[in-house]
Amino acid sequence: MLLADRCPIFSYCADPDTLEGLTWLSCYMTTGKHLAFYTSFGTVLLLLAITAPLALSFGFFAAMGSRAHLPPVRWLANLYMAVVRGVPDIAFFLFFVIALDQGFEWMRHQVLCPDWDQPIRQGNDFIVCQAAKLPQNSAPELVHQIYGFGLAVLTFAIVFGAFAGNVLAGAFKAVPHGQIETAEAYGMTHRQAFWRIMVPQMWTYALPGLSNLWMVLIKATPLLFLLGVEDVVYWAKELGGTKTARFTDYPHGDWRMWYFAGLLIFYLLFTKLSEVVLSRITRRLSHGQATAAGEALRKAGAGA
Partner 1 sequence: MSCTDTISSYAFRSIGLGERRLPTTDITVCDQVTLIGSGMLWNIYFGILAIIFGFFAAQAVALAKASPNKAVRKPAEWFIFLFRGSPLFIQFFFGYFLFLSLKRAFPVFDSFTDAWLGAAIVLWLNTTAYSAEIFFGALMAVPKGDLESADAYGFSGFPRFRRIVWPTMLRLAWPAYTNEAIFIFHSTTLVFFSGFPALQQKGDALYYASYFADKTFNPFIPYPILAGYFVLVTLCIITVFGLIGKRLNRHLPQAKRRSKRPRLMAQMFR
Binding site for partner 1 (CB under 8 A): 82, 85-92, 94-95, 98-99, 102, 121, 124-126, 163, 216, 218-223, 225-226, 233, 236-237, 240, 254, 256-257, 260-261, 263-264, 267-268, 271-272
Nearer Cβ to partner 1, position 54 or 193? Answer: 54
CB of 277 to partner 1, least distance (A): 14
Instruction: Annotate 126-137 with DSSP letters as a single string.
Output: E---GGG-SS-T
Least distance to partner 1, CB of residue 266, Å: 9
Q: How far is the CB of 226 from partner 1 (least distance, A)?
A: 6
Looking at the Cβ atoms of 135 and 222, the one nearer to partner 1 is 222
Nearer to partner 1, 32 or 222 (CB): 222
Closest contact distance (angstroms) between CB of 101 and partner 1 is 10
Helices 71-86 and 32-66: crossing angle in degrees, nearest 10, is 140
3-state secondary structure of 247: coil
Q: How far is the CB of 83 from partner 1 (least distance, A)?
A: 9
DSSP symbol at 227: G
Nearer to partner 1, 93 or 149 (CB): 93
Select 50 or 226, whichever has its Cβ closest to partner 1.
Answer: 226
- Cβ proximity to partner 1: between 87 and 281 the closer is 87
Pick 156 or 205: Cβ nearer partner 1? 156
Query: What DSSP assignment string belongs to 259-270?
Result: HHHHHHHHHHHH
d(CA 222, CA 231): 7
Residue ranges of alpha helices (H) inside 67-88 are 71-86
Phi/psi for 116 (5° steps) reads: -85, 125
- What's the closest the beta carbon of residue 222 comes to partner 1, in angstroms? 4
Return d(Cα 260, Cα 264) in angstroms, integer: 6
What Cα–Cα distance (Å) separates residue 212 from each residue in 29, 65, 174, 241, 268?
Answer: 34, 23, 18, 35, 15
End-to-end CA distance of the chain: 59
Smallest separation, CB 13 to partner 1 (Å): 27
Q: How far is the CB of 95 from partner 1 (least distance, A)?
A: 4
- Spatial separation of the C-alpha atoms in residues 143 and 181, rounded to whole Å: 53
3-state SS, residue 244: coil
Residues 6+ apart with CB under 8 A from 232: 37, 40, 41, 43, 44, 222, 225, 263, 266
Closer by beta carbon to partner 1, 88 or else 187: 88
How do beta strands 125-126 and 121-122 pair?
antiparallel
